[in-house]
Amino acid sequence: MKIVILDGYTLNPGDLDWNGLLKFGWYEVYDRTTIDDISEIIKRIGDSEIILTNKTPLTKEVFDACPKLKYVGVLATGYNIIDIQAAKENQVTVTNIPTYGTRAVAQFSMALLLEICNKVEHHNRAVKEGRWSKNQDFCFWDYPLIQLEGKTIGLLGFGRIGQAMGEISKAMGMKVIAYDQYPNDAGEKIEEYVTLDELFAKADIISLHCPLLEDTIGIINKNNIEKMKDGVIILNNSRGPLIIEKDLAQALNSGKVLGAGLDVVSVEPINENNPLLKAANCIITPHISWAARETRVKLLNIGIDNLEAFLEGKPINVVNL
């Protein structure tokens, strides 16, 4: 059986091992496949029955041109790159990796917050540039430093990652409030659920952990920012389109929003004209919350488990039932 990995580099830039796939057949790995070149995608799939992909899109045209294809394993949680209906019509099973990096993503969200509050890298750079050596006082700081104890953090989305962020926040002395369309008992054990408008009004920090749905696209917008406290901090390492970026940039530049920590943007890689690149007090990292080696190992192992379950006739994590 031939297995093709269309874009393996992101998951495995060389520090992991694909050989767990050998028990199912032989595999071919492409580091990258041009995402807008349909002919290249079709050529690389060829007569393969099994495809693994992270961000290479599979459209109806691709499925129709690859009749031997039986299985697509998405090596990520999001599967919007796949035409799910076309896969179903062509009797192709599609799976994803629903949970693999909960703690790592929550950790990274807190790292963004701590950088905003403490400006560690800025002051490290200032010391190495000689400013401390030349300073007449025993210390200095260029930005107001913020203590998180006693602050209220509002978690917009309170699933596994939101709850993990809630646990970390409570351990640091913060009050946790959360909004979720589907409250559950596990969340209530962590802290209190509130309405969306209450979260906007009460939170000193707003951290986004909700999926990208029709009613969450652009949920951070001019109107909702106006409902927030002056000097609020906004974090997003969930999905970029949750934020109307020009509205957030304007709020940062005006001081309404004190700072933002973002690991995702609406178009990735980021466009050079994205207004957030020049916005005040905005930290942007290149979608790496998930990328700790430990989480990538787990992701790959789950991807292999998904394939094995499919081949045994008992598929799991199927997204196109």
Number of domains in the chain: 2
Mean pLDDT for the stretch of residues 301-312: 98
Does one domain contain both 149 and 270? yes
Question: What are 14-69's pLDDT values in tens digits?
Answer: 999 999 999 999 999 999 999 999 999 999 999 999 999 999 999 999 999 999 99
Backbone angles phi, psi at 65, to 5 degrees: -90, -5
Note whether residue 318 is domain-resident. no
Does one domain contain both 111 and 251? yes
User: pTM for this structure?
Assistant: 0.93
Note whether residue 267 is domain-resident. yes
Note whether residue 23 is domain-resident. yes
Mean pLDDT for the stretch of residues 288-301: 97
Does one domain contain both 193 and 79? no
CATH of the domain at 29: 3.40.50.720
Note whether residue 208 is domain-resident. yes
Question: What are 141-189's pLDDT values in tens digits?
Answer: 999 999 999 999 999 999 999 999 999 999 999 999 999 988 888 777 7
Does one domain contain both 162 and 269? yes
Question: What are 209-247's pLDDT values in tens digits?
Answer: 998 999 999 999 999 999 999 999 999 999 999 999 999
Does one domain contain both 297 and 251? no
Does one domain contain both 123 and 157? yes
- Which two tokens mark 125? 């750079």
Note whether residue 191 is domain-resident. yes
CB neighbour class for 193 (10 Å; exposed up to 12, middle 13-18, buried from 19): middle
Block residue for tokens 């530049």:
253
Question: What are 1-15's pLDDT values in tens digits?
Answer: 899 999 999 999 999
Note whether residue 317 is domain-resident. no
- Catalytic residue positions? 239, 268, 287
Does one domain contain both 264 and 134? yes
- Alpha carbons 305 and 36: distance in angstroms, whole number: 29
Does one domain contain both 176 and 109? yes
Q: Which domain holds residue 74?
A: 2-100+293-311
Percent of the chain with pLDDT over 90: 93
